[in-house]
Structure 1
């Protein structure tokens, strides 16, 4: 018994006539009649009564056709689901990201991806750059968004593309003498108590800040370590010191704080999206294609890696 035999039986039952069923199936009537007769012999039951004006199901035929419809429905649903999975429209994607990615990049990117792929389950985890890289390298994540590319054993097997650029800014409370200024220079910063993320959370940014503020002629600045961007901004609002943040943190500024540019400008390590180079999951490809649309500068990077790019998802 083959699936076509089920389709033949359902067609005869629906049309109540061998000729009309054959026409709907796109085959001649004699082969259809022979296939139904062969199916009846295989089952050992009569499925259809041949009557003057056509055919009607027997009791056995009604039961068989009912089951056949359910089987064909499951087969068609499975085929449709398989095609959707091949297009990356269903499945599961594990994304680990640093908190500052939530300030500008992720809200609109995830909304765009969810809009085009509502059946994909996103498993999202906020983590430090170090933890995010380790999760990707350890197979606990499919995508990592970190400050700078992940490092460590196995990093050579990763593909990493920049998705956002940042530079250093400073934030202070409204009562601070710097409030109202547009800019602050390094000498001014070195003389102030500072607030920054712990080295373990943002090692690349912490290194850049240390290099910027290093001056052998002066005592090192006092630095209060804050857990995240919002804590840094909150402590600055309380007058604890000057918060040092990536420029995307402007989105987290409060009414009781003031944001200043730092001179000279200090580019910070890029916000980088990384994934395993040998991961050819359709869901990952769909996510990367959305990234290419959402962050146009990434398209050329992805194309060099042989991954999806904007032309493939222009319908999004």
Structure 2
């Protein structure tokens, strides 16, 4: 039995006429009659009674019609679903965000993806350091990572989305909050709250480079992996910090953000994916992220 036999039978049953069914199916009437006889012979059941004037379903034919319609509907639905998968309209995408991107990019990208790709399931993971994202990408527990280059894993494709300057985070009671901008040299005697050292955070290295260019080495009193905790420590008066400009979207009472005057140090935000990942739904999400941030597609 083939699917065409079911389609032929349904057409005849709905038209109750071999001629009209043949016209609907665009085949010759004798060929259609032969196919229905083949189907009945294979089933060993009479599905239709035929007279010179009309065609009627037998009780077995009525029940078979219900099942045939259900089978054809399932096959059609499977074809539609396969097309949606092929186009990337459905699927699951696990996305990691570095700390600073968690508070700006994550919410804005999530809103856009929910609106434009409702069939794609999102697994969003915030506050992930770049080395942790690289490991997760290689182990295939992440599909896309929004992280800070450089990334030296040969199996990943890394595309820079934008560059952003470092800004200062100060306790709200700090005297420098009275200024519109802050000179980095004015923070030389301040205790610093920093991201993790030992190459676990690109921002840590950027902060040290910026401070050394300003003529001093920062005195680090605390290393913190999560951006929200870092800013909270500053708000609590434990020190000051330098963070990417996007962190200003994280508002914590007791902290103030100020641009740095005379400092051009920037950090990059990039999207990383596995080089061998050809999933269309991952490509769609990545393309939308590029559009959102104004980067190349």
Same fold (TM over 0.5): yes
Q: Distance in 2 between matches of 1:165 and 1:263?
A: 17
Number of corresponding residues? 296
Match of 2:134 in 1: 133
Q: Distance in 2 between matches of 1:159 and 1:238?
A: 39
Q: Distance in 2 between matches of 1:142 and 1:236?
A: 33
Contact 1:182–1:261 (Cα < 8 Å) also in 2: yes
C-alpha distance after superposition, 1:133-183 (max 9, x if no partner): 1111222221111111433xxx12211111232211112123211111122
Flag structure 1 segments of 5+ consecutive residues without an equivalent. 300-316
C-alpha distance after superposition, 1:98-136 (max 9, x if no partner): 232122222122221222221222222232111011111
Contact 1:149–1:274 (Cα < 8 Å) also in 2: no
Q: Distance in 2 between matches of 1:212 and 1:292?
A: 28
Flag structure 2 segments of 5+ consecutive residues without an equivalent. none
Query: TM-score, structure 2 length as denominator?
Result: 0.91
Superposed, 1:274-285 pairs within 5 Å as 274-285=272-283
Structure 1 moving runs of 4+ over 4 Å? 215-220
Match of 1:228 in 2: 226
Q: Distance in 1 between matches of 2:146 and 2:212?
A: 28
Name the SS of the counterpart of 2:219 in structure 1.
coil
Contact 1:180–1:258 (Cα < 8 Å) also in 2: no
Name the SS of the counterpart of 1:244 in structure 2.
strand
Match of 1:287 in 2: 285
C-alpha distance after superposition, 1:40-98 (max 9, x if no partner): 12222211011343211112212222221111111101100000000011112122222
Match of 2:183 in 1: 185
Match of 1:75 in 2: 75
Contact 1:192–1:222 (Cα < 8 Å) also in 2: no
Match of 1:38 in 2: 38
CA RMSD, aligned part only? Answer: 2.2
Q: Distance in 2 between matches of 1:253 and 1:91?
A: 34
C-alpha distance after superposition, 1:270-310 (max 9, x if no partner): 111100112111111211222232233222xxxxxxxxxxx
Moved more, 168-177 or 71-80: 168-177
Match of 2:9 in 1: 9
Match of 2:117 in 1: 117
Moved more, 1-10 or 247-256: 247-256
> Is structure 2 residue 65 aligned with structure 1 residue 65?
yes
Q: Distance in 2 between matches of 1:68 and 1:253?
A: 60
C-alpha distance after superposition, 1:248-278 (max 9, x if no partner): 0111134543221123324333111100112
Match of 1:96 in 2: 96
Contact 2:171–2:255 (Cα < 8 Å) also in 1: yes
